[in-house]
Amino acid sequence: MSLWFSNFFRLHFPTSWPILTYATTWIMLLTMTVAIASISPQVTFVSAISPASLFSQKCTNDGFIRMPLDVPGEILCFPSHLFVKSKIDFIVPPIFAALIVAASTCLVRAVGLFVET
């Protein structure tokens, strides 16, 4: 993807903008990394609790919810009052996204994938 994007800019823009080309390419790569890292846990959780999933079976007690955990063979039911939205639900995803961007940037710098001028 980045090679195609970089070649596209080289063909359609003057050759005096190589830094802009590389910066745009890396910004797109980092943005896609953040998007995949942020959305994949949510997609996994939603698919685990969808009606087609084995986790969507009802618990025997009323007022309990079956939740997917890392224990595949056991049925774990929790009281439904434990699962309510809180104010921290609005804070955690942006912080997680910022950490992913910072980690991606550190990885790019550590591997040496940058342009020297």
Q: Is 54 within a domain?
A: no
Q: Is 55 within a domain?
A: no
* Whether 94 and 76 share a structural domain: no
d(CA 40, CA 17): 35
Domain that holds residue 73: 1-49+62-80
Q: Please give the pLDDT value at position 114.
A: 58
Q: Please give the pLDDT value at position 24.
A: 81
* Whether 4 and 33 share a structural domain: yes
* Whether 76 and 101 share a structural domain: no
Per-residue pLDDT of the chain (117 residues; tens, 9 = 90+): 556 666 666 666 655 567 777 778 888 888 888 788 878 888 887 777 777 776 667 787 888 887 767 766 677 888 888 877 788 878 888 888 888 888 877 877 777 765 555
* Whether 97 and 76 share a structural domain: no
- CB–CB of 69/82 below 8 Å? no
Domain count, the chain: 2
- CB–CB of 13/21 below 8 Å? yes
Q: Please give the pLDDT value at position 92.
A: 86
d(CA 65, CA 8): 51
Q: Is 56 within a domain?
A: no
Helix axes 18-48, 2-12, angle to 10 degrees: 150
CB-based contacts of 68, cutoff 8 Å, min separation 6: 45, 48, 49, 53, 55
* Whether 39 and 89 share a structural domain: no
